Amino acid sequence: MLEVRSLTGGYDKKEIVHDVSFSLKKGHMLGILGPNGSGKSTLLKMISGILPVTAGEILIDEMPRHSYKQKELARKMAVLPQLHAHAFSHTVSETVALGRYPHQSGLFSQWSTDDERASTEAMQQTGVAKYCEHELEYLSGGEQQRTFIAQALAQQAELLLLDEPTNHLDLEHQRQIMDMLKHEVEERQLTVVSIFHDMNLAALYCDELLLLENGRVRACGEPAEVLTEDEIAEVYHTAVARFAHPQLATPQMALLPDTVVADNCVTLEQFTVKSQYVHLHTDKPLRTLSAALHNPGFGWFRHFLNRTVDEHYMSDDAHTEMKNYIANEQLPIEQTVAMMTAVDVQHAVIRRYTNDEHEIFVMVTAGVGNAVDAARGHLHAEPQRVGTINLWAIINGELSDESFMQAMMTTIEAKVKAMQDGEIYDTHTGTIATGTSTDSVLIAATQSGRKYEYAGTITAIGKLIGRGVYETMLIALDDYKRAKGWIQ
């Protein structure tokens, strides 16, 4: 649909865009990214014919752009510039109706039903139909922007060039306009080239991205290829961290501000054992990876709860029940991660382990009435007995994602070993158990101070975790056995 071949040009005296090439198939959306002054708008204006081209070619539908007559071109390609000028008052519907100009011809051309349909539809798609009789100058910036998008849509061109279409729009309207464009791209094979300021929005909606730097193409391709941490850091001179969108297979970029991270340190005093729960309350949030009931997965939290519930606790909706419980305790729901156990928290074992500059804390509550040998789990029916091992490993230091996973592996391996050495049997199969069927693990780190790239079993931090978890587990298991009267 659109092909740009080694395009060079810009303003009269200064070439801004150098040797830019790309092509776009019909029914695709291309996002143009780049820092201020990288030539995004200039490139768009050259494609749309406002600025001169000194070298290179622009093909629209395999025909050179200059071979189109002005009106023909406007039927083929609609353009939404970044700034809008207007004089005197116009109603929204008059403004949108102007988009039909290229479809009208002759001295006495009439407004046809096609014209009417196209402009009504464009107004509905952009949500401005309800203001159609309002005057443009009294509308908000966002409403004006949507009116001009409607005008461009009313042109019914196959190719749409947009310069920051989501400018002035709030979150709802950003999504609405982008969803609508994406829908047009998919359903009607509209081809869209759009400049974006927000690379995350571009990554969400575009099939391809073009990254410009100083008027040259820095990268071009699928969002996953173009949006790399190194590329963005170099082009924008800004540190970013790439992460996956929680629900879509598209990369997103998080800004890493250049501010000094204040020291954050967990101490033993921050652990308290209340009547119904173990509570860790830190000064600043800890990065956390857990299999907790409330707020599992990765997150940042300041309150950590290991709550005792009655042996006969039954709830259809444990999540909501836990949320209500946290709220009743006057704790912030979104900053709290919480798990449950049937073990009385007075039996919780909390210990500090340290060597040289490394320091961790381990918290264990162990109830093994429900012990299971993971290798023979398939021999078990539904769990009937209560019993849970809840394990926390809190680390004063900075962990990479990789070391978070390794810390979790190390914790679990140490737990299994403690089960073995504590001779806890799976009563159903008669073999040594590896855990219970409802265990939970939590790894949290302050993300300040020493950095740990790895946390395997013989790394500095891994050694501490392995030993700490193993020893604390054994103490907790002995405590459990004593309570059950198995040992003296």
Partner 1 sequence: MKKHVVGYSVSIMLLFVAAWFAISVGSVKVPLSVLWNPSSADAASANIIWKIRVPRVILAGLVGAALAMAGAAFQGLLKNPLADPYTLGVSSGASVGAVMTIFFGISTSSLGLYTLPIFSMLGAMAAMVLVLSFARLVDRSMKMETLILTGIIVSAFLSSVISLMIALTGDELRQILNWLMGSVSMRGWPYIKMIWPFLVIGGLMLWMNRKELNALLFGEERAHYLGVNVKRSKWMILVGGSILTGCAVAVSGTIGFVGLVVPHMTRLLFGADHRHLLPLSIINGATLLIVCDLVARTIIAPSELPIGVITSFIGAPVFAYIFFRQRRKGR
Which residues of the chain form contacts with partner 1 (CB under 8 A)? 48-50, 70-75, 78-79, 81, 84-91, 94-95, 98-99, 101-102, 104, 107, 155
Q: Which is nearer to partner 1, 65 or 358 (CB)?
A: 65
Shortest distance, position 95 Cβ to partner 1, whole Å:
8
| 223 contacts: CB under 8 Å, gap ≥ 6 | 31, 202, 203, 206, 208, 209, 250, 251
**Gap between the Cα atoms of 395 and 352, Å rounded:** 10
Shortest distance, position 80 Cβ to partner 1, whole Å:
8
Q: Which is nearer to partner 1, 85 or 171 (CB)?
A: 85
Shortest distance, position 85 Cβ to partner 1, whole Å:
4
| 435 contacts: CB under 8 Å, gap ≥ 6 | 371, 372, 374, 389, 412, 415, 416, 419
What single DSSP character describes residue 39? S
Shortest distance, position 298 Cβ to partner 1, whole Å:
46
* Alpha helices (H) in 126-262, listed in sequence order: 141-154, 171-188, 199-205, 223-226, 229-236
Please name the residue that has the structure tokens 């009439």.
110
Q: Which is nearer to partner 1, 41 or 472 (CB)?
A: 41
**Gap between the Cα atoms of 483 and 488, Å rounded:** 9
Q: What's the sign of the alpha-carbon dihedral 465, 470, 473, 474?
A: negative
Shortest distance, position 83 Cβ to partner 1, whole Å:
8
**Gap between the Cα atoms of 184 and 209, Å rounded:** 18
Q: Which is nearer to partner 1, 82 or 427 (CB)?
A: 82
Alpha-carbon distance values, 203 to 29, 93, 99, 231, 380 (Å)? 11, 33, 29, 15, 46
Shortest distance, position 184 Cβ to partner 1, whole Å:
18
- By CB neighbour count within 10 A (0-12 exposed, 13-18 middle, 19+ buried), where does 75 fall? middle
Whether 10 and 16 have beta carbons less than 8 Å apart is answered as yes
Q: Which is nearer to partner 1, 193 or 235 (CB)?
A: 193
Q: Which is nearer to partner 1, 95 or 295 (CB)?
A: 95
Shortest distance, position 46 Cβ to partner 1, whole Å:
13
Whether 78 and 153 have beta carbons less than 8 Å apart is answered as yes
Shortest distance, position 97 Cβ to partner 1, whole Å:
9
Q: Which is nearer to partner 1, 6 or 89 (CB)?
A: 89
Whether 281 and 302 have beta carbons less than 8 Å apart is answered as yes
Q: Which is nearer to partner 1, 155 or 410 (CB)?
A: 155
Q: Which is nearer to partner 1, 87 or 381 (CB)?
A: 87
What single DSSP character describes residue 453? S
Please name the residue that has the structure tokens 């990554």.
203
Whether 162 and 80 have beta carbons less than 8 Å apart is answered as yes
Q: Which is nearer to partner 1, 114 or 225 (CB)?
A: 114
Neighbours of 374 (CB within 10 A): 13
